[in-house]
Amino acid sequence: MARKKLETLTEQMFYVLLALWRERHGYGIMQTITELTGGRVNVGAGTLYALLERFEKDRLIRFTRMEENRKYYQLTDAGEQALRAEYQRIQRQAADWERVMEEEGR
């Protein structure tokens, strides 16, 4: 079944939005994600470009400025809301996991 992105964020989407909690440029986002996840998640430059275009179109992020040939972006209120919703979804998943494991005694 096709993934309904922006309703359920993919891992790469989640980390791109998370990295934009603070204003960053494209390559800065890639570096931040790699550092944040210890290299577990890497976002390709082409993929990041497509995501930024899409997030900007959906007003989850906004373009803030241009400096040294680099475009800077930051999360919007709608983006923050989407990120929080995703975090809560993941939390609920984790809570469900813990409850089932407790019930099973593992």
* Residue 2 token pair: 């096709």
What stretches of the chain adopt beta strand conformation (E)? 24-25, 61-67, 70-75
- The number of angstroms, rounded, from the C-alpha of 10 to the middle of its chain's C-alpha atoms is 8
Residue 51 within binding range of another protein, rule CB under 8 A = yes
Residue 20 within binding range of another protein, rule CB under 8 A = no
Residue 38 within binding range of another protein, rule CB under 8 A = no
**Which residue, 54 or 78, has its beta carbon nearer to another protein?**
54
Residue 82 within binding range of another protein, rule CB under 8 A = no
Kindly indicate which of the ranges 42-50, 76-84, 88-96, 98-106 contains the residues binding another protein, using the contact rule CB under 8 A: 42-50
- Asked whether 21 and 75 are in contact (CB, 8 A), the reply is yes
DSSP state of 4: -
Using CB under 8 A, list all residues that contact another protein. Answer: 1-3, 5, 10, 12, 26-27, 30, 34, 42-51, 69-71
